[in-house]
Amino acid sequence: MTNVGFCGPIRGLRDTICGCCSKIIPCLSDPETRSSWGLKASLVILHLLYVGVLFIFDKDLIQKTVNQPWYTAAYLFVLLATLAQYFITAGTSPGYVLDAMRVVNESHAAFRKTSESKQSASSGDGSLTISVEGDKVGRTYSGSFSTPWTKMVMDMYPPGSSVRTWTCSHCNIVQPPRAKHCHDCDKCVLKFDHHCVWLGTCIGQDNHFRFWWYIFEENILCFWTVILYISYLRSDTPRAWWIDAIMILLLATLFLCTIFIFLLLIFHNYLILTNQTTFELVRKRRIPYLRGVPAKVFPFSKGICRNVCDFCCTWGKHNMESVPSLEDLEERARPYTCSDVLCCRCC
């Protein structure tokens, strides 16, 4: 009875504080939003902790800042740029299927209004021909498909595909190839790569480019900070033993984080060069149109140069890719010859 009587006012005080915070900052009323902002705050605090400890204990760095201010200014610029890129990436939409579907349907409706007379003369049988960029030819569909989006998406899959196979059971919309429903965001994402917990958002077609820049800048910052820690520990400056203990502990954890981020950057470089996603690489056998693809064949690859160009230039444009035909897969599975190497077939 005593515990119940004591916990009651505590719960009331907690609810009052949460209610006040929700009124001041409405977005914090959502537990998931609070958790996401908590992770963001933790990441910022970690960055400031590792950098702040250096400037507190390293007197040589402070002296170097006085003599060579450009060095410290460059280091702090990398720190601010990394944090800015982190928040920009976290706030950028990964590219949702629902948004792309809305754009396609609205564009089709606007086109029908401007060319109503021409369409009425050419669609007397209630069918429509859709052409998709790639090696596929336009197919004629009957009136069983309800929206232009459905007609366009189904033309990206091999002939004989069923609408039900590619319809999301949560969003009830037809997913284009390489899209996936994210249960954390509760939305279907175009060219889904993974859901990043630290960013609090999915990595997809529209923000994968920004995500790469973030981990690239994070690598520069981590390597630079590791060098500063090692330089401090190797210096002959007299100091207390507990300061060295703190610096060694921070250096050990920072070194592990640096290795992980560096490997992450290499992994995403490999994905970009081969035009793959993390989900496609890890769960290849669960994706129906990738089950029959040979192990060393990258079905969506257009060559290294084209893959890099598309990754750098087509983000944010809802660029959707068709499933390659069987002939294309057989051609890509063909062993390399001397002429292929001279012609830069891999590029």
Q: How many residues does the chain have?
A: 347
Q: Of the listed 7, 196, 313, 338, which one is catalytic?
A: 196
Contact (CB, 8 A) for 191 and 277 = yes
* Pairing label, strands 139-141, 180-182: unpaired
What is d(CA 187, CA 196) in angstroms, rounded to the nearest whole number? 14
What is d(CA 125, CA 142) in angstroms, rounded to the nearest whole number? 9
Contact (CB, 8 A) for 201 and 90 = yes
Residue 318's closest CA among 10, 141, 96?
A: 96
- Going from the C-alpha of 93 to that of each of 201, 247, 305, the distances in angstroms are 8, 38, 26
What is d(CA 250, CA 225) in angstroms, rounded to the nearest whole number? 11
Tell me, yes or no, if 196 is annotated catalytic: yes
- Going from the C-alpha of 75 to that of each of 79, 80, 228, the distances in angstroms are 6, 9, 10
Alpha carbon 263 to chain centroid distance? 16
Contact (CB, 8 A) for 92 and 202 = no
Catalytic residues, by residue number, are 196
